[in-house]
Structure 1
Amino acid sequence: MITISQLTELLGWVSVLNVGYLLLATIILMFMRGAVSSIHSKMFNIDEKEMSAKYFDFLSHYKIATLVFMVSPYIALKIMGY
């Protein structure tokens, strides 16, 4: 059985990994948008102009999911003293 302190530690590390991935994906999309957009538009048969909106949707949904399911519970458990 997992204890509250183990859950707190797990959520902390998962939050670090998810925020790190979010930053990496954002940096890649900022500096390599042309190459990445070209590859994805060919793979999924989507116009390159639509890809910017799709990337924005992906990053925003990923950020919200990370904040709601990883970072917020971690902060709540830290405030409670675990």
Structure 2
Amino acid sequence: MDINVITAFFGWCLLINVAIYSLSTLLLFTFNDWIIKLHSNISGVNACELPRLYFQYLAHFKIAITVFSLVPYLALKLLVN
């Protein structure tokens, strides 16, 4: 497998992950009350705890994107150039 193919793979992974992250952030902040009500009913978690859990989810997702998509992509881009 060529290094350019691997670089393109990580580039696409990064793009897809950032799109999912942006969409989930937009939905969480736009439909906050509806999502809290839905998740509270489904999971039984107290509605007061859910905003904290959402921020933890977004923080962990951002760290995962950085570690598993952005850093390998940038490292491979530096190697290729």
Q: TM-score, normalised by structure 1?
A: 0.94
Q: Does structure 1 residue 62 correspond to structure 2 residue 70? A: no
Structure 2 counterpart of 1:39? 38
Whole-Å separation in 2 of the counterparts to 1:34 and 1:13: 33
Amino-acid identity (%): 32
Q: How far does the alpha carbon of each residue in 1:32-64 deviate from its partner, in whole angstroms, 9 at most, with x for none? A: 000011101111100111000110010000100
Deviation at 1:4, TM superposition (A): 1.5
Structure 2 counterpart of 1:76? 75
Deviation at 1:3, TM superposition (A): 2.1
Structure 1 counterpart of 2:3? 4
Q: TM-score, normalised by structure 2?
A: 0.95
Structure 2: 5+ residue stretches without partners:
none
**Stretches of 4+ aligned residues off by more than 4 angstroms:** none
The total of aligned residue pairs comes to 81
